[in-house]
Structure 1
Amino acid sequence: MNINATLFLQAVVFAILVWFTMKFVWPPITKALDERAQKIADGLAAADKARSELSAANQRIEAELAQARAESAARLAEAERMAQRVIEEAKARANEEAAKIVAAAQAEAEQQAVKAREALREQVAILAVKGAEQILRKEVNPAVHAELLHRLKSEL
């Protein structure tokens, strides 16, 4: 065989192989590579989207936590104000009750002082009558005695 024919035949076989590869083998490989590249691009896009969503979610969480802290601080301050108001009201009621008790005690003391004065007047009147009776050494008439006691009470 001739070397030129061999070279020519090899060139034809090589051309057929190139054509066959370009027509039947290369398109599925490029399609698979394109699909793989698209999947990778989609995965990267999804990762970027998830990262941005995570960042947004973290910002929302921080905002909600700040709002919850502010609300709890406001509620705590309101509770302290309410407790202070309740304490002040209780103090006011206690002061009112104490004033009522003191007034009642003063009124009772005044009544007891009046009763004691009356009892003392009666005892003084009786003692005065007994003293006068002993001085006079005679019995005084009960009607006169009652009138004398009454006069002494009014004078004392």
Structure 2
Amino acid sequence: MATQAIVAMEQQNFLVPNGTFFVELFAFAIMVWILAKFVIPPINKAMTARQEAIRQQFADLDQAKSEAHEAEEEFRAQIADARHEAARIREEAREQGAGIIAELREQAQAEAQRIVEHAHAQIEADRKAAVVSLRNEVGSLATSLAGRIVGEALEDEARQGRVVDRFLEELDQTAGAS
């Protein structure tokens, strides 16, 4: 039994490779070969594609950023142009307003001048009517006064006209002398 124990111990020595070890080693090698041939290449391909997609997304993001900056600059330029255009339109409106005001002022002055001339003409017509009315009134008063002074009636129209004309001439002479 001692020899059997030694033989059994020799068989149980873990440092000595046995048949199962080689089978396990062969199975492991087949598994590594299957993984290396069929599993790892698609994983590497997917990882490479993902890295490329990420790189492309970063490139697209940089391009979108530059386009956004260009669009922002264009927008700012358009706003500046719009402000300049608005300022120009305001200035034109001011000039047109000043022209309209000047034109209306001229029209108002012309209308005022026309009204003043019309008023002067009306005043002159009223003055002439008043002079005629006063001449008639003064003439009749002068005739009746002269008739009372003279003591006879001055009923004759021709005589009455001469007396009135003479009286008015004397009035005009005294008014011109003073």
TM-score exceeds 0.5: yes
Given candidates 73, 92, 96, the residue that maps to 2:106 is: 92
- C-alpha separation between the residues in 2 aligned to 1:48 and 1:116? 99
What secondary structure sits across from 1:138 in the alignment? coil
Between the two proteins, the alignment pairs up a number of residues equal to: 155
1:16 positional shift = 4.7
| Structure 1 residues 38-79: Cα deviation after superposition (integer angstroms, max 9, x where no partner) | 111111111011101111111121111112211222222222
- Aligned-residue identity in percent: 32
Q: Distance in 1 between matches of 2:147 and 2:112?
A: 51
Relative to structure 1, the CA distance from residue 153 to residue 73 in structure 2 (aligned partners, 3 Å threshold; closer, same or farther) is: farther
Is residue 2:44 matched to residue 1:30? yes
1:18 is displaced (CA, Å) by 4.8
Unaligned runs of 5+ in 1: none
> 2:143–2:160: 8 Å Cα contact kept in structure 1?
no
Instruction: Find out whether 1:127 has 2:141 as its counterpart.
Output: yes
Pairs within 5 Å for 1:5-154? 9=22, 16=30, 18-145=32-159, 147-148=161-162, 151-152=165-166
1:153 & 1:138 partners in 2: Cα distance?
18
Q: What secondary structure sits across from 2:91 in the alignment?
A: helix
- Report the AA paired with residue 40 of structure 2: W
Per chain length, whose mean CA-contact separation is higher, i.e. which structure has more relative contact order (CA < 8 Å, sep 6+)? 1
TM-score normalized with structure 2 length: 0.70
Task: Tell whether the 8 Å contact from 1:133 to 1:139 is kept in structure 2 after alignment.
Answer: yes
Q: Secondary structure at the match of 1:139?
A: coil
